[in-house]
Chains A and B, each alone.
Chain A
Amino acid sequence: MDLLTLLQVLDSTVRMATPLLLACLAGLFSERAGIFDIGLEGKMLAAAFLAAAIASVTGSAWIGLVAGIGASLVLAIVHGLASITFRGNQLISGVAINFFAAGITVVVAQSWFGQGGRTPQLSDGARFQSITLPFAESLSGVPLLGPIYKELISGHSILVYMAMLIVPLTWWVLYRTRFGLRLRAVGENPAAVDTAGISVVRLRYSAVLICGVLCGIAGAQLATAEPAAGFIKDMTAGRGYIALAALIFAKWRPWYALMACLLFGFLQALELRPDLITNVIGIKVQGQLLSALPYIMTVVILAGFVGKAIPPRAGGEPYVKER
Chain B
Amino acid sequence: MTTPAIELRGISKAFGPVQANKDISIRVMPGTIHGIIGENGAGKSTLMSILYGFYKADAGEIFINGKKTEIPDSQHAIAAGIGMVFQHFKLVENFTVLENVVLGAEDGAMLRPSLAKARSQLKQLAEEYELNVDPDAVIEEIGVGMQQRVEILKALYRQADILILDEPTGVLTPAEADQLFRILGRLKEEGKTIILITHKLREIMEITDTVSVMRRGEMTATVKTQDTSPPELAELMVGRKVLLQVDKVPAKPGAMVLEVKNLNVTDSGGVHRVKDVSFTIRAGEILGIAGVAGNGQSELLEVLGGYEFGKGEVLINGQSIDLTGRHSNGQTRRERGIAHVPEDRQREGLIMDFMAWENIAFGYHHDPKYQKNRLFMDNAAIRDDTADKMQRFDVRPPNPMLQAKSFSGGNQQKIVVAREIERNPDLLLVGQPTRGVDIGAIEFIHKQIVALRDQGKAILLVSVELDEIMSLSDRIAVMFDGKIMGERLPEKTNVKELGLLMAGVAGEAA
Chain A residues near B (Cβ < 8 Å): 175-182, 184-185, 188-189, 191-199, 313, 321-323
Contact = CB atoms under 8 A, between A and B. Distances in A.
A183 B224 CA distance: 46
Interface in B98-129: 99-100, 102-106, 108-112, 114
Contacts of B105: 196-197
B104 A198 contact: yes
Contacts of A189: 90-93
Contacts of B88: 322
B154 interface: yes
B72 to A, nearest CB: 11
A195 B93 contact: no
A198 B74 CA distance: 8
Contacts of B79: 197
Nearest to A196: B104
Contacts of A199: 73, 75
B111 A185 contact: no
Given A192-B91, A194-B54, A323-B15, A176 B112 contact: yes
10 contacts: A177-B111, A178-B114, A179-B109, A180-B111, A181-B102, A188-B94, A193-B104, A196-B74, A321-B54, A323-B15
B94 A181 contact: no
Interface of B: 15, 52, 54-55, 73-79, 84, 86, 88, 90-95, 99-100, 102-106, 108-112, 114, 154
Contact of A182 (B78, B90, B93, B103): B103
A313 B110 CA distance: 25
A181 B100 CA distance: 10
Nearest to B49: A321
Contacts of A192: 90-92, 100, 103
Contacts of B108: 178
Given A196-B154, A322-B88, 16 more contacts: A177-B109, A177-B110, A178-B106, A178-B114, A179-B109, A181-B103, A181-B111, A184-B92, A184-B95, A192-B91, A192-B103, A195-B74, A196-B90, A196-B104, A197-B104, A321-B55
A322 B346 CA distance: 14
B82 to A, nearest CB: 10
Contact of B95 (A177, A188, A321): A188
Lowest 7 A-B CB distances belong to which pairs? A196-B104, A197-B75, A192-B90, A178-B106, A195-B90, A197-B74, A197-B78
A180 B112 CA distance: 12
A199 B53 CA distance: 12
Nearest to A322: B88
Nearest to A182: B103
A198 B109 CA distance: 14
Nearest to B20: A323
A181 B54 contact: no
A195 B112 contact: no
A180 B54 CA distance: 24
Nearest to A191: B90
B104 A182 contact: yes
B2 to A, nearest CB: 28
A189 B79 CA distance: 22
Among A182, A185, A195, find the residue whose CB has the most chain B CB atoms closer than 10 A: A195
B140 to A, nearest CB: 10
B102 to A, nearest CB: 7
A197 B73 contact: yes
Contact of A313 (B84, B93, B99): B93
